[in-house]
Copies of this chain bind each other. A is one copy, B any other.
């Protein structure tokens, strides 16, 4: 089985590849080859049991996707995207990568021919939904995004469903929760603090909390995100039906609950590293975000996320800190 990953240099792409390298297979089928691409050349994981070809490719350029499909990958993970803040600031770039790129990739699959119908996993986002929201947003809530990124992902979902309905490929779109705890350096995205207030204190550093403790949001660990991708790649899509895009399970917790979970797992000394510095701008942005989702459809289809925030913290300690707290 040959795997193609677009966006393989990103955090989720790297973690997916580590998982595939560890498993050596996808479902019951051994992986014989992986092609990794991103705008920068992705790194192949160490001790990978199958050959990996890594390339720096802008898949949105005319003709680029066709080259990636030359040896007909069986499963395509399309994780490549310009993120929300950048797509909002750079209208051209967001549409070029997130819409034109996705559309060209799907068209390139169609151009391969009648007997090529790969599984395509598309990472969508809860940003396809726009306020005002009900308390728990159902899977079939109207997609009225309030960002260009959300609009581009919603369009990707429509294309994925229609190309799948026509039998051109066999697509599954998964709307990822906010990933927490995101590894790496603190970032300046408005959502960064959800991870910063856990990751930094656990590593012995201070972290800034810019919002009040009653802010609720929807989280899943990087390990769960990879689990969603693998499950989407192996599920019998007949069970999904024509509505190919699914809100993934997650955990709705308040910032206060995040902090109490951190206290249980790591103690008062670690929690004391969180510094409260209210920021009205961030509070306002985050105030318009979704709080929680009704994900019974994805859950019924076998997608699984963490059941408690302590579990999310422990995944981070296991996967990123070698089990140790500073």
B242 near A144: Cβ-Cβ < 8 Å: yes
A118 within 8 A of B: no
State which residues 103-125 of A face B: CB under 8 Å. Answer: 103, 110
CB contacts (< 8 Å) of A166 on chain B: these are 91, 148
A154 at interface, CB cutoff 8 A:
yes
Cross-chain contact B91 with A144 (CB below 8 angstroms): no
- Distance in angstroms between the alpha carbons of A242 and B146 in the assembled complex: 8
Which residues on B sit within 8 Å (CB–CB) of A103? 99
Asked whether, in the complex, the Cβ of B144 is within 8 Å of the Cβ of A142, the reply is no
Contacts of A99 in B (CB 8 A): 103
A265 CB–B CB distance under 8 Å: no
Tell me which residues across on chain B come within 8 A of A154, comparing CB atoms.
158
User: In chain B, what residue has the closest Cβ to A244?
Assistant: B144
Q: Within 8 Å of chain B (Cβ to Cβ): is A162?
A: yes
Output the nearest chain B residue to A142 by Cβ-Cβ distance: B140
As a 0/1 sequence over residues 135 to 154 of chain A, the CB contacts with chain B under 8 angstroms (1 = contact) are: 00000111111101001001
Nearest-neighbour CB distance to chain B for A248, whole angstroms, equals: 17
CB pair A151 B161 closer than 8 Å: yes
Q: Contact at B158–A143, with CB atoms within 8 Å?
A: yes
- Report yes or no: A143 in contact with B142, Cβ–Cβ below 8 A: yes
| Interface set of A (CB-CB < 8 Å, partner B) | 91, 99, 103, 110, 130, 140-146, 148, 151, 154-155, 158-159, 161-162, 165-166, 242-243
Other A-B pairs, 9, CB within 8 Å; known A140-B141, A141-B142, A151-B159: A91-B110, A145-B162, A146-B242, A148-B166, A151-B158, A151-B161, A151-B162, A154-B158, A155-B155
